[in-house]
Amino acid sequence: MKVLNGLVSIILCVFAAHAAPLALAQNPTSQQQATPTGSGSYPEMMKQLTRPGDNHKLLGGIVGRWDFTGRHFSDDPKEKPFEFKGIVERKSLWEGRYFVSETTGGKLQMPWSDGREIAYKDMSVEGYDNVKKKFVRAIIDNHFDTGILMFEGDSDSANKTITYKAEIETAPGQKIKTRIRLKILDSDHYVEEFYENHGKQEVKVTELSYTRVKSNLSL
């Protein structure tokens, strides 16, 4: 009899544990009393955090197809910069929640290509994290990297500038501090500058200038 009573008690405890959340969902009065329903309420805060805002719109302003010219700088100031060109396609994803870009550049002899020339490619997903209050960017490419490069950044809204930072591991145990500065000049032009810490000094390694490709609507 004691065993039976014990089993009944266990069953009742399990039922109560599963029934309690259901009861709160069906009758949320006590939960609503614990959480204010005004403008500063938890549900309203969560709603705002899920919505794309002005920082997403800043990235949305450079959606489109772009031509770019680039220069890659050597650590030796006497050496002439390596110049290159390419195109980039930037697209909005899920009503401006994220932005996807794909770059195609000129042909290069990749470190891994055994002398073959291969068109440079990279892709990135970009957005703004409302919780962290940071711009975010993830990059993959076919040049040096086999991992996913992760950047976080802040903006100077007045100057339409986003500065991304990361510490990139280029070889086991070797990390380089990297900074990307994206500046929107106007609706048809923007630039990106890439900086790395070489020793104790930060140097500019690459500069890209973008010009919007406008659709030819004339027949």
Q: What is the pLDDT of residues 55-76, one digit of tens each?
A: 999 999 999 999 999 999 988 8
Average pLDDT on 108-133 reads: 93
Kindly state whether residues 186 and 111 are assigned to the same domain.
yes
Kindly state whether residues 63 and 129 are assigned to the same domain.
yes
The CA distance from 182 to 179, in Å, is 10
Cβ pair 60, 96 in contact under 8 A: yes
Average pLDDT on 156-172 reads: 90
The CA distance from 153 to 137, in Å, is 8
217 within a domain of the structure (yes/no): no
The number of helices, as runs of H, and strands, as runs of E, in the chain is 4, 10
Q: Which structure tokens are listed for 152?
A: 């976080």
Kindly state whether residues 99 and 168 are assigned to the same domain.
yes
Cβ pair 36, 158 in contact under 8 A: no
- Report the domain count for the chain: 2
The CA distance from 43 to 100, in Å, is 30
Share of residues in the chain with pLDDT > 70 (%): 79
The single residue listed with the structure tokens 């195109």 is 87
Most confident of 29-38, 65-74, 75-84: 65-74
Give 71-92 as a 3 state SS string. EECCCCCCCCCEEEEEEEEEEE
Ranking 9-18, 63-72, 191-200 by mean pLDDT, the lowest is 9-18
The CA distance from 191 to 68, in Å, is 9
Kindly state whether residues 20 and 70 are assigned to the same domain.
no
Q: For residue 184, which phi and psi values (nearest 5 degrees)?
A: -85, 115
Average pLDDT on 77-82 reads: 86
Question: What's the pLDDT at 216?
Answer: 63
Give the dihedral sign, CA 5/7/10/12.
Answer: negative
pTM assigned to the model: 0.74
Kindly state whether residues 131 and 28 are assigned to the same domain.
no
CATH of the domain at 208: 2.40.128.20
Q: Which structure tokens are listed for 10?
A: 């266990």
Question: What's the pLDDT at 211?
Answer: 97
Q: How far is CA 55 from the centre of its chain?
A: 12
Kindly state whether residues 122 and 151 are assigned to the same domain.
yes
Check whether 187 has a pLDDT greater than 60. Answer: yes
The whole domain housing 69 covers 54-212
Q: What band does 7 get if pLDDT is binned at 50, 70 and 90?
A: very low
Q: Which amino acid is at 12?
A: L
Q: Which structure tokens are listed for 170?
A: 């280029």
